[in-house]
C-alpha cells in the first residue's frame, strides 16, 4: 500500500502531503526533510525509485513539481509510477492544463481529487472519467443535492404536520 | 471532454475568486511562495497561526469564513506547523448540515487526525448518521473519513452501516465500502472475520471498479491463508483472462459503454497476478491452471507503456513464484532481457529485480545478462547499484564470493548512509562466513568490514573471527595455522596505526596480539606489549578494549616467563598496569592484579596457568569429581546420607543438559568449519554441437551462437578445452553499448575468427589495414568493444563464470607472446579456421541456395542474418557499387589486380607474423571470397531486405511518437516532457 503522498517543489517547498500510515507531526517533518534531500538531488535520467528505510519511494518530476509516493517493499514500482501519472492527468483535466499555481491556491481541491483516486493507501479508481465525474458531481451537485434534501425534508415536514 | 475541462477551470477560478478564498489567504500563499528562506517562511506561518487563533474563536463567524479558516489551518499544518488548536473546529464543521462545509470538515479531520486521536469519539456519531444519508456524496465523504479515522474500538459502531453500503446502488459507494472493510481488516482482522464471504461475493460485482477494489482485501486474506482460497483459483484465472483480453462480461459494461476501463484492467491484472502468485506457490495443480493465461499475457504484453511493463514484471514475479514451467520461464527470461537492454533506468531496475527472483528457480538465466548486470553495478545511479548488489547477493557461490564481497566492501566504504551501511556489512559478513574460499581471505575481509563499518557489525562476528584464528585449520595443519596467525598479526600491527578504529575491531586485535603476537618469534615481547599499551592509551575511555589489552599483556608476559626469558616491563606498561590497579572498574582491577601476581611466579607454574596456544583447548572438567570418591565412601560408611542430584530433588530439568544444548546451537550458528563447497563444474551449455566437416580437433561449436559469437568460439579454440565455452562471455544478451552495433554475423565468420583470437591480435590489424576501407570500417566499429571487454570480461567471468581458473587461463593466454606459440598449435588453429569457414559454407548452402546473379564457383554465400542492425544495413546499401564491381572481377576470374594485391598483402602480413606458418591457400581464398560475396549479396538483396528491417527497427518508435502525439492532443499537454504550457506560470 501507499504510505504517503508528497508533492514537493523543486525548491523543496511542500505543496501537498497525504499520510495513509500514522506519522506524528515530528516524523512527518523529518520524512519530508530527508526525502526532499534525497529526491531533489537525484540527477535526471536515473530511475524513479529510491530505496528508503525499508520502503521504496517512487517519484516523478513534472515541470518544477516532484510527486513522491512511498510504498511497501513488495509493491510494483511501475504501477505506482502509473498512478502518479494518472493523478497528474486527472489534475490536468480538472484544472485544464494544470500548473503549480493551481495546486498552490487550490490544494484542497487536489486533496479531494486524491481522495477519489486513492483510499486507505490503495488505488480505488483508475478511470479518469469516473474520477472527473465524481469530482464534478461534488462540486456542482452539492448545491442541488442540498436543495433536494431540504425540499425532501420540507415535504416530510409538511406531511407530518 | 472540452466541456469537462472548462467546467473544471471555471470551478477552479470560481473557488479562487468566489466563495472560498479571501484576499488575505491569497496574500498568505503568495508571501510564502516568495519567502526566501525557511526562517522567513516560518515567521510568516507563525504570524498566520496567531491570527487564526484569534479569529477562529470569535463568535458568529460566517460559514464561508469558517471554511476558509479551516483551509488555512490545513495549509499551516501542511507546512509542518502545529495547528492542533483548530482541530476541534474542524470536527465541529463535520456536524454542519451544509454539504460544502461538511465536506471541508471531513477533509480537514482526515488530514489532521490519526485514528488514535481523542477527538475521534466526537466524530463517530456524525459518521454514523452520514453513512445513512440519502445523498451519496455525503456517504462518500463519510466513508473517506471511516477509512482514515475509525480505529479498532470504534469499528463496531460503523460496521453494520458499512456492510449495508455494499449493496448501495452507486458503484463509487460500494467501492469505498469495500475499501473501508479492507481497512478494518487491516486494523483488526477479527472484527470483520465473519464478513469474508462478502468479499468473495463482491468479486462478482457488476462494476469492474468494485471488483478491482475487492482484490485488495482478498489479496491480504489469501496472503495469510492461501489454502482456504484455492477454490477461487479458477475464477481468478477466468477473470484475469477476460481482463487481459479486454473482454469483460456484458454485466461489466458500464452505462452501455463497452470496456471503458482499460486502465482498470491493467491495475486489476497486477493485483490478480499477485494473488495468483500467492495461490500458485508450491502448488502444482493450481499453477497448471494459470500457465496458459500468464503465457498469453506475456506474449501479448505491450512493453512500450509503463503499465504494460508493470504487468510484464508482475508476470515474472508470478512465474517465479508458482510451480515452475519451462516455457513460462523462458518467456520470463526474454522479458528480462528486454528490460535489461532498455535504456530506461526504471526498466533496468525492474529487470535486475526480476532477475533476482527468477534466478532462484533457474540459476543459469543470469549468465546471458552478465555484461548488463555489470553495467548496472557500475552505474552512477545508487538505487540501481543497490538493487544489483541484492542480485549479486542472491547469486553468490563459493566461486565468485571474492569478487562480490570485494565489490560490496568497496561500495560500503564509499557510502555514508548508516542504515544501508549496516545492511551491506551484514551481507558481506554473511557471505564471507558462508562461502569463504580460504581462512586468510576471510580474515582479510573481516578486517576490512570491521575497519569501515566499525561498530555497526554484530559482536558475534568478532567472536567468530577470533575463533577462526584460534582454531585454525585443525590438528593436521599446524604449519598453515601458524602462517595464518602470523599473517593476522602482521596485518593487525599494520592496521593499529590507523586512527579511530572501532572498539570491536580493537578487541579482536588485542586478543590476537596477546595470543599470537610473539608466537612466531618475529616480534619481540616488548614490541608487542608496547603496541598494546599504545592501544590502551589511545582508547583510554573504552573499558572493554582496556580489559582486552591487559589480558593480552598478561598472556604475553606469561609466555615469556614460560619460555624462560626474563621479563622486563616497559615503563609505559608499568604505568598502564598501575593505572588499572587503581581503576574504578573491578574487572580491570582484577585483571591487573592477576597480571601482577603472575609475573611473580616461576616458569613452571606460569606454564600451567597460561599454556601457550591453548585458547581453543577444551578445559577438562571432571564432572564426577572422581578424586573425592574415597572421601565420599568414607562418609557413607560413617552413615552419611547419599547425595541426591538436584534435579531429582526438585524435578528440575538438568541444567547441564541445557548448557550443552546451548553450545550445540551456537555452534550451528557460527562459522562453518567443514570444507567449503568445491566449485561446481559448469553446466554444459544447451546448444547442440555442429557436425564438423573436416577437423576433429575442434570442440563443439554452439550452433545458434555461432555467427554472432565468433570471438567466443575462437577463445574456445585457443584454450581447446571442451566445456569451457560456458565460462566465456556471452554478448548476445547484452545491450549493444558502445555505439555502433558490431558483429555482422556471418560476414565476419572468417575474418573474425582470426581477428578475435587474442593470440592473433596483431595479424588482425595487418589484415584490416590491407583489406579495403569497408572492411576497415567494420573493424573500426568493432574495436571499441574489443578494447573495453577484457576488464569487464574478467569481471563477468569471475562473477558468473563458475571458477576463477578461467580468469587465470584467459589472462595467461592473453599474455602469451606471439613468438612463443608453437607452430603446430598455429597450424591447428588455422585449420580450425578453415574448418569453421567450411562449416559456415555448409550451413549457408543448406539454408539458402546461392543467388544465380553471382556466378561464384566457390559459392561461399552466406545469408545476411536478420540481425537488427541499421548501420550494417546502411553500409550494405552504400557499398553496393563497390562490392558488385569487385565481385565481377572475382567471378570472372579475370585476375583482378587489386584483389590479388590485397590477397598478397594479407598473406604476406600473415606470413611475416609467424614463421613456418603455412596458410592453406584455399582457406584464405575462401575468406576473402566469402567476404566479398557477402557484400555482394548484401548489395543485391539490400533493397529488399533493408526496408522491412529498418521498418521494424523504427516501428515502435514511430508508434510511440504517434501515441504520444495522440495523448498530447487528447489532454492538451504532455506531462512527460518539458511542455512550456505546463507549469509555466509558476511562482519562483
Cβ distance of B8 and A136 shorter than 8 Å:
yes
Q: Is the pLDDT reported for residue B325 higher than 60?
A: yes
**Residue B207 near chain A (CB below 8 Å):** no
Average pLDDT over residues B71-90: 85
**Residue of A41, A72, A82, A91 for testing the chain B interface, max B β-carbons within 10 Å:** A82
Same domain, B857 and B979: yes
Chain-wide mean pLDDT for chain B?
A: 67
Same domain, B631 and B779: no
**What integer pLDDT is reported at residue B77 of this predicted model?**
85
**What integer pLDDT is reported at residue B739 of this predicted model?**
43
Cβ atoms within 10 Å of B291's Cβ, excluding its own: 17
Same domain, B639 and B548: no
**Residue of A58, A68, A139 for testing the chain B interface, max B β-carbons within 10 Å:** A139
CB pairs under 8 A between A and B: 229
Q: Is residue B19 part of a domain?
A: no
Conformation bin of residue B259: beta by default, left when phi > 0, alpha when psi is -120 to 50: left
Cβ distance of B114 and A127 shorter than 8 Å:
no
In what order do the strands lie in the sheet containing A2-9? A14-19, A2-9, A65-71, A55-62, A49-52
Strand residue runs (E) in B715-847? none
User: B461 pLDDT band (50/70/90 cuts)?
Assistant: confident
Q: Is the pLDDT reported for residue B859 higher than 60?
A: no
Chain-wide mean pLDDT for chain A?
A: 81
Cβ distance of A130 and B383 shorter than 8 Å:
no
Q: Which domain holds residue B603?
A: 382-609
Alpha carbon of B613: minimum distance to chain A alpha carbons (Å) = 45
Alpha carbon of A18: minimum distance to chain B alpha carbons (Å) = 7
**What integer pLDDT is reported at residue B114 of this predicted model?**
81
Cβ distance of A125 and B79 shorter than 8 Å:
no
Cβ distance of B386 and A138 shorter than 8 Å:
no
Residues of B in contact with A117 (CB under 8 A): none
Query: Could you identify the residue written with the cell 557460527?
Result: B670
**Residue B966 near chain A (CB below 8 Å):** no
Cβ distance of B346 and A99 shorter than 8 Å:
no
**Sequence-separated (6 or more) residues with CB below 8 Å from residue B135:** A145, A148, A149, B99
**What integer pLDDT is reported at residue B387 of this predicted model?**
83
Cβ distance of A48 and B987 shorter than 8 Å:
no
Residues of A in contact with B310 (CB under 8 A): 76-79, 81-82
**What integer pLDDT is reported at residue B130 of this predicted model?**
87
Q: Is the pLDDT reported for residue B264 higher than 70?
A: no
Q: Is the pLDDT reported for residue B849 higher than 80?
A: no
Q: Is residue B826 part of a domain?
A: yes
Same domain, B441 and B576: yes
User: B585 pLDDT band (50/70/90 cuts)?
Assistant: confident
**What integer pLDDT is reported at residue A68 of this predicted model?**
92
Q: Is residue B93 part of a domain?
A: no
Number of domains in chain B: 3
**Residue B380 near chain A (CB below 8 Å):** yes
CA–CA separation, B480 and B632 (whole Å): 48
> What is the tens place of the pLDDT at every residue in B890-905?
444 444 444 444 444 4
Average pLDDT over residues B172-200: 82
Residues of A in contact with B182 (CB under 8 A): 120, 122
> What is the tens place of the pLDDT at every residue in B736-794?
444 444 444 444 444 444 444 444 444 444 444 444 444 444 444 443 444 456 666 66
Q: Is residue B857 part of a domain?
A: yes
Cβ distance of A47 and B179 shorter than 8 Å:
no
Same domain, B894 and B779: yes
Q: Is the pLDDT reported for residue A83 higher than 70?
A: yes
Closest by Cβ to A53, choosing from B345, B419, B986: B419
**What integer pLDDT is reported at residue B967 of this predicted model?**
53
Closest by Cβ to A124, choosing from B29, B78, B175: B175
Q: Is residue B479 part of a domain?
A: yes
What percent of chain A shows pLDDT beyond 90? 4
> What is the tens place of the pLDDT at every residue in B82-124?
888 888 888 888 888 878 888 888 888 888 888 788 888 888 8
Closest CA to B506 of B540, B471, B472: B540
Nearest chain B residue to A145 by CA: give it.
Answer: B135
Closest by Cβ to A102, choosing from B6, B12, B82: B12
Cβ distance of A47 and B107 shorter than 8 Å:
no
Residues of B in contact with A119 (CB under 8 A): 143-144, 147, 176, 179
**Residue B985 near chain A (CB below 8 Å):** yes
Q: Does the model's pTM come out above 0.80?
A: no
Cβ distance of B986 and A45 shorter than 8 Å:
no
Query: Could you identify the residue written with the cell 604476406?
Result: B908
Give the ipTM: 0.83
Same domain, B632 and B604: no
**What integer pLDDT is reported at residue B651 of this predicted model?**
59
Alpha carbon of A68: minimum distance to chain B alpha carbons (Å) = 15
Residues of A in contact with B98 (CB under 8 A): 146
What percent of chain B shows pLDDT beyond 70? 60
**What integer pLDDT is reported at residue B768 of this predicted model?**
41
**What integer pLDDT is reported at residue B396 of this predicted model?**
80
Is the torsion defined by CA of B207, B213, B215, B221 positive or negative? Answer: negative
CA–CA separation, B136 and B174 (whole Å): 10
> What is the tens place of the pLDDT at every residue in B513-537?
888 877 777 777 788 888 888 888 8
Alpha carbon of A161: minimum distance to chain B alpha carbons (Å) = 22
Q: Is residue B176 part of a domain?
A: no
Cβ distance of B263 and A122 shorter than 8 Å:
no
CB B121 within 8 A of CB B158: no
Residues of B in contact with A50 (CB under 8 A): 383
**Residue of A125, A148, A152 for testing the chain B interface, max B β-carbons within 10 Å:** A125
Cβ distance of B107 and A107 shorter than 8 Å:
no
Q: Is the pLDDT reported for residue B259 higher than 70?
A: no
Same domain, B572 and B701: no
**What integer pLDDT is reported at residue A150 of this predicted model?**
60
Nearest chain A residue to B105 by CA: give it.
Answer: A108
- Helical residues (DSSP H) of B454-539, grouped into ranges: 459-471, 478-496, 503-516, 525-538
Q: Which residue has the higher pLDDT, B911 or B458?
A: B458
Same domain, B731 and B765: no
CA–CA separation, B274 and B263 (whole Å): 17
Nearest chain A residue to B219 by CA: give it.
Answer: A1
> What is the tens place of the pLDDT at every residue in B126-151?
888 888 888 888 888 888 888 888 88
* Lowest mean pLDDT, pick from B90-99, B200-209, B940-949: B940-949
The three grid cell numbers given for residue B543, joined into one nine-digit string: 573499558
Closest by Cβ to A120, choosing from B137, B182, B987: B182
Cβ distance of B383 and A49 shorter than 8 Å:
yes
DSSP character for B166?
A: T
Average pLDDT over residues B618-624: 69
Nearest chain A residue to B136 by CA: give it.
Answer: A145
Cβ distance of B264 and A78 shorter than 8 Å:
no
Q: At what angle do helices B171-187 and B136-149 cross, to 10 degrees?
A: 10
Query: Could you identify the residue written with the cell 606498561?
Result: B573
User: B679 pLDDT band (50/70/90 cuts)?
Assistant: low
CATH number for the domain spanning B466: value is 1.25.10.10
Cβ distance of B306 and A78 shorter than 8 Å:
yes
Strand residue runs (E) in B787-934? none
User: B920 pLDDT band (50/70/90 cuts)?
Assistant: very low
CB B597 within 8 A of CB B550: no
Residues of B in contact with A95 (CB under 8 A): 8-9, 12
Alpha carbon of A64: minimum distance to chain B alpha carbons (Å) = 7
**Residue B5 near chain A (CB below 8 Å):** yes
Cβ distance of A48 and B346 shorter than 8 Å:
yes
Same domain, B630 and B575: no
Cβ atoms within 10 Å of A113's Cβ, excluding its own: 22
Among B353-367, B460-474, B929-943, name the most confident range: B353-367
CA–CA separation, B237 and B285 (whole Å): 13
CA–CA separation, B366 and B341 (whole Å): 14
Alpha carbon of A56: minimum distance to chain B alpha carbons (Å) = 10
User: B183 pLDDT band (50/70/90 cuts)?
Assistant: confident
CA–CA separation, B352 and B659 (whole Å): 45
Same domain, B446 and B528: yes
Q: Is residue B802 part of a domain?
A: yes
Same domain, B430 and B501: yes
The three grid cell numbers given for residue B680, joined into one nine-digit string: 561446481
Using the 3D structure, point to which of B683, B708, B743 is the last residue of a domain: B743
Alpha carbon of B932: minimum distance to chain A alpha carbons (Å) = 43
**What integer pLDDT is reported at residue A69 of this predicted model?**
92
- Helical residues (DSSP H) of B396-473, grouped into ranges: 401-414, 418-435, 439-453, 459-471
Q: Is the pLDDT reported for residue B886 higher than 60?
A: no
Cβ distance of B384 and A78 shorter than 8 Å:
no
CA–CA separation, B481 and B489 (whole Å): 12
> What is the tens place of the pLDDT at every residue in B389-410?
888 888 887 777 878 888 888 8
Same domain, B644 and B770: no
Q: Is residue B563 part of a domain?
A: yes
Phi, psi dihedral angles at B919 (to 5 degrees)? -95, 125
**What integer pLDDT is reported at residue B440 of this predicted model?**
75
User: B242 pLDDT band (50/70/90 cuts)?
Assistant: confident
Is the torsion defined by CA of B353, B358, B360, B363 positive or negative? Answer: negative
Closest by Cβ to B216, choosing from A11, A101, A122: A122
Average pLDDT over residues B712-716: 44
Query: Could you identify the residue written with the cell 578453415?
Result: B834
**Residue of A73, A90, A108 for testing the chain B interface, max B β-carbons within 10 Å:** A108
User: A67 pLDDT band (50/70/90 cuts)?
Assistant: very high
CB B986 within 8 A of CB A63: yes
Amino acid at each position: 500500500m501507499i504510505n504517503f503522498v508528497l508533492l514537493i517543489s523543486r525548491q523543496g517547498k511542500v505543496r501537498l502531503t497525504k499520510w495513509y500510515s500514522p506519522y506524528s507531526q515530528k516524523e512527518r517533518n523529518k520524512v519530508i526533510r530527508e526525502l526532499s534531500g534525497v529526491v531533489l538531488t537525484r540527477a535526471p535520467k536515473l530511475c524513479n525509485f529510491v530505496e528508503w528505510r525499508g520502503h521504496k519511494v517512487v517519484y516523478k518530476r513534472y515541470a518544477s513539481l516532484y510527486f513522491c509516493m512511498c510504498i511497501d517493499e513488495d509493491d510494483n514500482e511501475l504501477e505506482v509510477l502509473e498512478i502518479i501519472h494518472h493523478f497528474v492527468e486527472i489534475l490536468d483535466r480538472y484544472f485544464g492544463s494544470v500548473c503549480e499555481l493551481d495546486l498552490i491556491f487550490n490544494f484542497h481541491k487536489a486533496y479531494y481529487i486524491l481522495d477519489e483516486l486513492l483510499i486507505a493507501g490503495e488505488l480505488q479508481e483508475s478511470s479518469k472519467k469516473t474520477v472527473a465525474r465524481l469530482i464534478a458531481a461534488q462540486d456542482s451537485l452539492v448545491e442541488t443535492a442540498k436543495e433536494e434534501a431540504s425540499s425532501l425534508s420540507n415535504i416530510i415536514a409538511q406531511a407530518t404536520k | 471532454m472540452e466541456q469537462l475541462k472548462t467546467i473544471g477551470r471555471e470551478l477552479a477560478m470560481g473557488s479562487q475568486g468566489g466563495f472560498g478564498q479571501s484576499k488575505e489567504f491569497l496574500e498568505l500563499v503568495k508571501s510564502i511562495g516568495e519567502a526566501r528562506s525557511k526562517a522567513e517562511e516560518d515567521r510568516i506561518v507563525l504570524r498566520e497561526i496567531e491570527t487564526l487563533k484569534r479569529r477562529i474563536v470569535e463568535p458568529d463567524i460566517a460559514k464561508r469564513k469558517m471554511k476558509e479558516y479551516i483551509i488555512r489551518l490545513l495549509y499551516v499544518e501542511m507546512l509542518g506547523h502545529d495547528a492542533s488548536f483548530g482541530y476541534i473546529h474542524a470536527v465541529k464543521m463535520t456536524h454542519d448540515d451544509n454539504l460544502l462545509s461538511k465536506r471541508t470538515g471531513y477533509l480537514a479531520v482526515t488530514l489532521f487526525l490519526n485514528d488514535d486521536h481523542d477527538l475521534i469519539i466526537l466524530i463517530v456519531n456524525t459518521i454514523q448518521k452520514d453513512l445513512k444519508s440519502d445523498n451519496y456524496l455525503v456517504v462518500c465523504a463519510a466513508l473517506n473519513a471511516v477509512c482514515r479515522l475509525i480505529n479498532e474500538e470504534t469499528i463496531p459502531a460503523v460496521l453494520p452501516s458499512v456492510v449495508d453500503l455494499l449493496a448501495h446502488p452507486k458503484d463509487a459507494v460500494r467501492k469505498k465500502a469495500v475499501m473501508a472493510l479492507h481497512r478494518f481488516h487491516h486494523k483488526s482482522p477479527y472484527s470483520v472475520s465473519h464478513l469474508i464471504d462478502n468479499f468473495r461475493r463482491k468479486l462478482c460485482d457488476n462494476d469492474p471498479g468494485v471488483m478491482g477494489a475487492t482484490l485488495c482485501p482478498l489479496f491480504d486474506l489469501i496472503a495469510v491463508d492461501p489454502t482456504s482460497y484455492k477454490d477461487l483459483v479458477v475464477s481468478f484465472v477466468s477473470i484475469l483472462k477476460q481482463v487481459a483480453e479486454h473482454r469483460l462480461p456484458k454485466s461489466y459494461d458500464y452505462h452501455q459503454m463497452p470496456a471503458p476501463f482499460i486502465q482498470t484492467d491493467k491495475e486489476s491484472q497486477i493485483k490478480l497476478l499477485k494473488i495468483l502468485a500467492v495461490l500458485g506457490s508450491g502448488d502444482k495443480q493450481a499453477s497448471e491452471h494459470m500457465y496458459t493465461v500468464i503465457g498469453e499475457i506475456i506474449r501479448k504484453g505491450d512493453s512500450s507503456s509503463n503499465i504494460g511493463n508493470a504487468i510484464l514484471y508482475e508476470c515474472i514475479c508470478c512465474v517465479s513464484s508458482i510451480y515452475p514451467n519451462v516455457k513460462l520461464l523462458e518467456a520470463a527470461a526474454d522479458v528480462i532481457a528486454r528490460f535489461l537492454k532498455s535504456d530506461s533506468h526504471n526498466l533496468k531496475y525492474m529487470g535486475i529485480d526480476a532477475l533476482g527472483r527468477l534466478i532462484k528457480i533457474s540459476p543459469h538465466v543470469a549468465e546471458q545478462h552478465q555484461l548488463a548486470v555489470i553495467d548496472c553495478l557500475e552505474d552512477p545511479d545508487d538505487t540501481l547499484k543497490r538493487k544489483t548488489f541484492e542480485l549479486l547477493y542472491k547469486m553468490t557461490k563459493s566461486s565468485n564470493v571474492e569478487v562480490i564481497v570485494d565489490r560490496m566492501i568497496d561500495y560500503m566504504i564509499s557510502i555514508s548512509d548508516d542504515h544501508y551501511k549496516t545492511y551491506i556489512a551484514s551481507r558481506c559478513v554473511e557471505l564471507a562466513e558462508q562461502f569463504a574460499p580460504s581462512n586468510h581471505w576471510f580474515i582479510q575481509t573481516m578486517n576490512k568490514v570491521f575497519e569501515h563499518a566499525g561498530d555497526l557489525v554484530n559482536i558475534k562476528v568478532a567472536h567468530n573471527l577470533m575463533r577462526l584464528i584460534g582454531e585454525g585449520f585443525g590438528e593436521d595443519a599446524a604449519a598453515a595455522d601458524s602462517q595464518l596467525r602470523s599473517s593476522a598479526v602482521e596485518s593487525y600491527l599494520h592496521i593499529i596505526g590507523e586512527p579511530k578504529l572501532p572498539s570491536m575491531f580493537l578487541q579482536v586485535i588485542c586478543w590476537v596480539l596477546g595470543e599470537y603476537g610473539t608466537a612466531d618469534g618475529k616480534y619481540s615481547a616488548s614490541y608487542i606489549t608496547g603496541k598494546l599499551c599504545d592501544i590502551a592509551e589511545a582508547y583510554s575511555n573504552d573499558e572493554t578494549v582496556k580489559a582486552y589489552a591487559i589480558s593480552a599483556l598478561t598472556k604475553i608476559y606469561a609466555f615469556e616467563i614460560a619460555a624462560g626469558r626474563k621479563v622486563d616491563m616497559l615503563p609505559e606498561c608499568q604505568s598502564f598496569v598501575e593505572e588499572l590497579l587503581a581503576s574504578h572498574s573491578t574487572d580491570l582491577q582484577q585483571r591487573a592484579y592477576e597480571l601482577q601476581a603472575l609475573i611473580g611466579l616461576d616458569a613452571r607454574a606460569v606454564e600451567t596457568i597460561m599454556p601457550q596456544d591453548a585458547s581453543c583447548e577444551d578445559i577438562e572438567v571432571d564432572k564426577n569429581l572422581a578424586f573425592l570418591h574415597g572421601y565420599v565412601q568414607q562418609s557413607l560408611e560413617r552413615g552419611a546420607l547419599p547425595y541426591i542430584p538436584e534435579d531429582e530433588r526438585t524435578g528440575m530439568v538438568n541444567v547441564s543438559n541445557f548448557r550443552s544444548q546451548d553450545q550445540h546451537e551456537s555452534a550451528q550458528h557460527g562459522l562453518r568449519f567443514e570444507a567449503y563447497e568445491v566449485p561446481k563444474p559448469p553446466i554444459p551449455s544447451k546448444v547442440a554441437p555442429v557436425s564438423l566437416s573436416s577437423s576433429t580437433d575442434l570442440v563443439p561449436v554452439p550452433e545458434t551462437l555461432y555467427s554472432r559469437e565468433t570471438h567466443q568460439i575462437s577463445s574456445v579454440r585457443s584454450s581447446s578445452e571442451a566445456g569451457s565455452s560456458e565460462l566465456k562471455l556471452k554478448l548476445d544478451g547484452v545491450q549493444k553499448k558502445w555505439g555502433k552495433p558490431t558483429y555482422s554475423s556471418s560476414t565476419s565468420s572468417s575474418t573474425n575468427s582470426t581477428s578475435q583470437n587474442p593470440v592473433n591480435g596483431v595479424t588482425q590489424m595487418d589484415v584490416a589495414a590491407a583489406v579495403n576501407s569497408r572492411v576497415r570500417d567494420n573493424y573500426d566499429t568493432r574495436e571499441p568493444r574489443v578494447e573495453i571487454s577484457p576488464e569487464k570480461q574478467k569481471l563477468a567471468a569471475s562473477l558468473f563464470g563458475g571458477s576463477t581458473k578461467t580468469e587465470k587461463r584467459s589472462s595467461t593466454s592473453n599474455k602469451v607472446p606471439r613468438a612463443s606459440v608453437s607452430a603446430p598449435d598455429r597450424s591447428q588453429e588455422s585449420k580450425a579456421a578453415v574448418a569453421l569457414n567450411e562449416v559456415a559454407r555448409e550451413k549457408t548452402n543448406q539454408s539458402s541456395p546461392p543467388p544465380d546473379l553471382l556466378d561464384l564457383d566457390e559459392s561461399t554465400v552466406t545469408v545476411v542474418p536478420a540481425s537488427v542492425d541499421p548501420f550494417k544495413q546502411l553500409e550494405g546499401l552504400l557499398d553496393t557499387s563497390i562490392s558488385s564491381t569487385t565481385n565481377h572481377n572475382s567471378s570472372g576470374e579475370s585476375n583482378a589486380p587489386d584483389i590479388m594485391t590485397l590477397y598478397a598483402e594479407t598473406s604476406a602480413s600473415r606470413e611475416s607474423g609467424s614463421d613456418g606458418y603455412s596458410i592453406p591457400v584455399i582457406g584464405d581464398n575462401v575468406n576473402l571470397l566469402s567476404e566479398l560475396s557477402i557484400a555482394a549479396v548484401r548489395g543485391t538483396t539490400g533493397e529488399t531486405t533493408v526496408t522491412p528491417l529498418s521498418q521494424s527497427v523504427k516501428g515502435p518508435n514511430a508508434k510511440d511518437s504517434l501515441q504520444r502525439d495522440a495523448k498530447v492532443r487528447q489532454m492538451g499537454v504532455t506531462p512527460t516532457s518539458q511542455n512550456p504550457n505546463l507549469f509555466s506560470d509558476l511562482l519562483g
